[in-house]
């Protein structure tokens, strides 16, 4: 705990040196270090994580995949409620608490999202955002190994959440936490397959696209979407790629699965058509035999 506090204070000190406006340039003094880490993460993703996510998507029925996503989203609501309170959003905290209790009980540990149809929408709050609300600066942009894009503020928040509201903080049973954590990572990667496809086809520098997209999303979440998050260092063409990422829905890939299911149905119809054609040929053969008998 002492080491955690020391690390947190160090990060907050670095963070305080860079308090950018919501539409200011990205503070990226460590780009020469961040880029190799980005390449490492990308290689790891292409070789291991993405193939595993595709396999998970292939073998997992849609309703099971949705249930798993709902389960981890429900666990995250504990963190959301805590940060609601820290940010002074007491009404939202009450609604999010009701959502968590409803989904945990009626929704069977969150596998079924009962709250959203009843108007209890999902919110996303993190301690990194809370620090921003408190006036702590962003700090330098950081590309962390395995964890991906962050900044000094969000990294400090991540460290705190790891000791307070994360899955590991709720139980000490490693045999339970480890497989669930792996499943959460794979499920998250499966939800982001469309984003990966977009980045693969992007003409821009993937590092800059990821960096600027993440910074915009973090700033937007910190100010609840009430501030201008256009980065003044990017050209208008950059915004086209970022806006395309913004429009991605987390479960777009499930729609793609639905399309595949439709294709499967078409294949079945094609097979039926082929059978019909065979039946017609059989009938013609029988007519030919009758003609020969005549």
User: Which pLDDT score is estimated for 197?
Assistant: 67
Q: How many domains does the chain have?
A: 1
| Position 182 in a domain | yes
Contact 136, 12 (CB under 8 A): yes
Write out the E strands in the chain: 141-144, 148-151
Helices 62-86 and 90-105: crossing angle, nearest 10°? Answer: 150
Distance, CA of 66 to CA of 22 (rounded, Å)? 34
User: Which pLDDT score is estimated for 270?
Assistant: 47
CA nearest neighbour of 148 among 71, 98, 214: 214
| Position 167 in a domain | yes
The torsion angles phi and psi of 14, rounded to 5 degrees, stand at: -65, -40
**DSSP 8-state code for residue 216:** H
Distance, CA of 211 to CA of 205 (rounded, Å)? 10
Q: Are strands 148-151 and 141-144 parallel, antiparallel or unpaired?
A: antiparallel
| Position 288 in a domain | no
pLDDT in tens, 196-213: 666 666 657 889 989 998
Contact 165, 76 (CB under 8 A): no
At residue 4's C-alpha, the angle toward residues 2 and 10, to 5°, is: 105
| Position 37 in a domain | yes
Cα 226 to Cα 20, 27, 73, 178: the distances in Å are 16, 21, 24, 38
| Position 257 in a domain | no
Residue 148's beta-bridge partner residues?
Answer: 144
Structure tokens at 277: 């054609």
Residue span of the structural domain in which 229 resides:
2-250
| Position 164 in a domain | yes
Contact 214, 149 (CB under 8 A): yes
CA nearest neighbour of 31 among 248, 218, 220, 207: 207
Model pTM score:
0.74
| Position 23 in a domain | yes
Low-confidence ranges of the chain (pLDDT < 50): 13, 234-239, 249-275, 290, 293
Provide DSSP, 106-123: TTTTTTS--TGGGT----
| Position 260 in a domain | no
């Amino acid at each position: 705990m002492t080491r955690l506090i020391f690390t947190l204070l160090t990060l907050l000190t670095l963070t305080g040196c860079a308090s950018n406006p919501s539409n200011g340039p990205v503070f990226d003094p460590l780009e020469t270090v961040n880029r190799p880490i980005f390449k490492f993460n990308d290689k790891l993703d292409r070789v291991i994580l993405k193939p595993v996510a595709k396999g998970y998507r292939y073998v997992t029925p849609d309703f099971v995949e949705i249930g798993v996503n709902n389960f981890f989203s429900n666990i995250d609501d504990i963190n959301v409620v805590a940060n609601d309170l820290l940010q002074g959003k007491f009404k939202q905290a009450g609604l999010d608490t009701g959502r968590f209790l409803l989904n945990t009980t009626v929704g069977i540990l969150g596998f079924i999202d009962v709250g959203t149809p009843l108007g209890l929408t999902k919110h996303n709050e993190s301690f990194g955002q809370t620090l921003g609300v408190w006036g702590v600066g962003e700090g330098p942009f950081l590309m962390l190994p395995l964890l991906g894009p962050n900044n000094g503020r969000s990294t400090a928040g991540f460290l705190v959440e790891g000791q307070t509201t994360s899955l590991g903080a709720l139980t000490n049973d490693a045999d339970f936490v480890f497989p669930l954590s792996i499943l959460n990572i794979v499920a998250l990667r499966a939800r982001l397959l469309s984003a990966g496809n977009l980045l693969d086809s992007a003409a821009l520098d993937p590092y800059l696209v990821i960096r600027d997209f993440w910074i915009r999303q973090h700033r937007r979440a910190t100010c609840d979407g009430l501030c201008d998050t256009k980065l003044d260092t990017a050209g208008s063409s950059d915004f086209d790629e970022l806006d395309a990422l913004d429009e991605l829905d987390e479960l777009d890939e499930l729609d793609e699965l639905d399309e595949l299911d439709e294709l499967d149905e078409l294949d079945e119809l094609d097979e039926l058509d082929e059978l019909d054609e065979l039946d017609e040929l059989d009938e013609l053969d029988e007519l030919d035999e009758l003609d020969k008998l005549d």
